[in-house]
Amino acid sequence: MREPESERSASAHPALAPNRQPPPTTSTDDWGKGTRDADEQHFLHGPHPRRSELWHSLRILREFVRGFRALHFVGPCVTVFGSARFKEDHPYYALAREVGAKVAKAGFTVMTGGGPGIMEAANRGAKDAGGTSVGCNITLPSEQKPNPYLDRWVEVKYFYVRKMLLEKYSYAFIAMPGGIGTLDEIFETAVLIQTQKIQNFPIVLMGKSYWTPLLDYLRSVQLATGTIDSEDVSRWIVSDSPEEVVADILERTLKPFGLSYGAKPKPRWWLGES
Q: Does residue 270 form part of some domain?
A: no
Least confident of 38-42, 123-127, 212-216, 253-257: 38-42
**Of how many residues is the chain composed?**
274
Sequential DSSP letters for 253-273: HTTTTT-B-SPPPPP-GGGT-
Q: Does residue 9 form part of some domain?
A: no
Q: Does residue 176 form part of some domain?
A: yes
Residues 10-48 pLDDT 10s: 333 333 333 334 444 444 455 555 555 577 777 778 888
Q: Does residue 189 form part of some domain?
A: yes
Q: How many domains does the chain have?
A: 1
Q: Does residue 25 form part of some domain?
A: no
Q: Does residue 218 form part of some domain?
A: yes
Residues 103-144 pLDDT 10s: 999 999 999 999 999 999 999 999 999 999 999 988 755 445
* Spatial contact of 154 and 66, defined as CB atoms under 8 Å apart: yes
Separation between Cα atoms, residue 125 and residue 119, nearest integer Å: 10
Q: Does residue 18 form part of some domain?
A: no
Q: Which is nearest to 83 in space by CA: 68, 96, 67, 69?
A: 96
Residues 142-179 pLDDT 10s: 445 789 999 999 988 888 899 999 999 999 999 999 99
Q: Which residues span the domain enclosing 82?
A: 31-256
pLDDT band at residue 101 using 50, 70 and 90 as cut-offs: very high
CATH code at 175? 3.40.50.450
Q: In what order do the strands lie in the sheet with 133-138?
A: 152-156, 133-138, 109-112, 77-81, 170-175, 203-206, 236-239
Separation between Cα atoms, residue 238 and residue 215, nearest integer Å: 9
pTM of the predicted structure, to 2 decimals = 0.83
Residue 94's CB: how many other CB atoms inside 10 A?
A: 17
Highest mean pLDDT among 42-56, 62-76, 135-149, 202-216: 202-216
